[in-house]
Amino acid sequence: MTSLRGRHLLSIADYTLDELTSVLDAALRLKRQPSLVAGLAAGKTLAMIFEKPSLRTRVTFETAMTQMGGHAIYLQPSDIGIGTRETAQDVAQNLSRWVQAIMARTFKHGTITELAQYATVPVINALSDLEHPCQALADFLTLTEHKAYLKGRKLAYVGDGNNVAHSLMLLAALVGTHFTIACPEGYDPSPEVLAQARALAKESGAKINVVRDPVEAVKGADALYTDVWTSMGQEEERAKRLAVFPPYQLNAALLRHAKPDAIVMHCLPAHRGEEISAEVLDGPQSVVLDQAENRLHAQKAVLALALGWVPNE
């Protein structure tokens, strides 16, 4: 495989198909054999920059470093204040003198790209307003475990065309998974990301579609996915969104239009009774806890490969 040592992960599209396959394969191996990278990060430190809170992101990244023998430092907004107290350039250049990798969970995607521009260590996007590549990697690891193969499968996303949808769309396009998103008018994915995904899909044969009708989207789907209707930073839009999105709830009635063995996915946290019904979220077809667990394994693979791990053939 191509070495990913020292590589940033800002967007799913930063990786080629071969590199994505290598990351997913590495994640599966590390899930089964965590000892493969025990000690890899001994004496190494991950700086974790948080502008937004997160249960799963903080715990899984910190746990991954701990399991590899390293250390992680949690930096909350008041510790740094990127753009107010210090520039992203200064933060990146200073951290690069002390740590071996930087993980950032930010509002603006531009903050991530600026950190990567000036850092001399790998920078990992742990969520921005444009993408959530670590989530998508965990999700496709989950799809692989439950559906055996990815090419030709159908993933249906119902809800807001947000950062999670962007990363899922790009990954689907790269690996050949058909992707359909159903969203209300005015809440489509970014036209630039959509065009990028469709260009990538020409190589893989994936079909990338945007529709208005949730039933149309989920017909014949192997997996159904949703996310919150109002993301962090959009709180002032909550009332408006609550009036628009109810027809896009992932519930038992909608699930019946998918394949009988379709799995239900959500990146969490979930608002039961809004974007997803409790009976579906907690039901037998839900794999949301598998997705949450797989954040640990996917991110550990990204970190291990960026720190120089080369899996034995």
Dump pLDDT digits (tens) for 275-308: 999 999 999 999 999 999 999 999 999 999 999 9
Close Cβ partners of 293 (under 8 Å, ≥ 6 residues apart): none
Q: In the numeric block, which tokens belong to residue 211? A: 């529709």
Q: Is residue 105 annotated as part of the catalytic site, yes or no?
A: yes
Q: Say how far apart CA 291 and CA 264 lie, in whole Å.
A: 10
CA nearest to 99, candidates 146, 62, 45, 145? 45
Q: Where are the beta strands (DSSP E) in 202-276?
A: 208-211, 223-226, 263-266
Which amino acid is present at 158?
Answer: V
Peptide bond into 53 cis (omega under 30): no
What pairing do the DSSP bridges indicate for beta strands 208-211 and 178-182?
Answer: parallel
Contact 248, 277 (CB under 8 A): no
What are the backbone angles phi and psi of residue 208, rounded to the nearest 5°?
A: -115, 115
Residue with tokens 């579609």: 209
Amino acid present at 254: L
Cβ contacts of 87-90, under 8 Å, gap ≥ 24: 87/114, 88/114, 88/115, 88/118, 89/114, 89/117, 89/118
How many C-beta atoms lie closer than 10 Å to residue 199's C-beta?
12
Please state the pTM of the whole predicted model. Answer: 0.97
Active-site choice (56, 67, 100, 105): 105
Catalytic residue among 109, 153, 227, 241: 227
Which one from 109, 241, 295, 297 is the annotated catalytic residue? 295
Hey, CA dihedral for 124, 111, 128, 231, is it positive or negative? positive
> Does the annotation mark 135 as catalytic?
yes
Q: What is the rounded average pLDDT for all residues in the chain?
A: 96
CA distances, 81 to each of 59, 131, 217 (Å): 22, 21, 41
- Looking at the DSSP bridge assignments, the partners of residue 124 are 9, 103
Please name each of the domains of the chain with its CATH number: 12-131+295-306 (3.40.50.1370), 135-292 (3.40.50.1370)
Model confidence band, residue 163 (pLDDT cutoffs 50, 70, 90): very high
Q: Of 8, 132, 166, 297, which is the active-site residue?
A: 132
Q: Give yes or no for residue 248 having a pLDDT over 90.
A: yes
- For the segment 14-67, what is each residue's pLDDT rounded down to a tens digit? 999 999 999 999 999 999 999 999 999 999 999 999 999 899 999 999 999 999
Q: How much of the chain is in helix, strand and coil states, percent to nearest 5?
A: 45, 15, 40
Residue 313 confidence (pLDDT): 53
Known catalytic residue at 267: yes
pLDDT at 31: 98
Catalytic residue among 67, 100, 135, 196: 135
Catalytically annotated residue among 134, 267, 291, 297:
267
Q: Is 295 a catalytic residue?
A: yes
Helices (H), 263-312: 278-281, 288-306
pLDDT at 154: 98
What share of the chain has pLDDT > 90, as a percent? Answer: 92
Determine the Cα–Cα distance for residues 189 and 179; give it in Å rounded to an integer: 12
Of 172, 282, 260, 181, which is closest to residue 225 (Cα–Cα)? 181
- Kindly report the backbone phi and psi dihedral angles of residue 269, in degrees, each rounded to the nearest multiple of 5, phi listed first: -70, 150
Q: How confident is residue 78, by pLDDT bands cut at 50, 70 and 90? A: confident
Secondary structure of residue 36 in the 3-state scheme: helix
Handedness of CA 235, 239, 243, 249 (dihedral sign): positive
Given this model, what pLDDT does residue 1 score? 58
Q: Tokens at residue 264, please? A: 């239900």
Residue-wise pLDDT for 84-107, tens only, equals: 899 999 999 999 999 999 999 999
Judge whether 132 counts as a catalytic residue.
Answer: yes
Residue 243 has pLDDT above 80, yes or no: yes
Q: How far apart (Å, rounded) are the C-alpha atoms in residues 68 and 306? A: 13
The answer to whether the beta carbons of residues 223 and 263 sit under 8 Å apart is yes
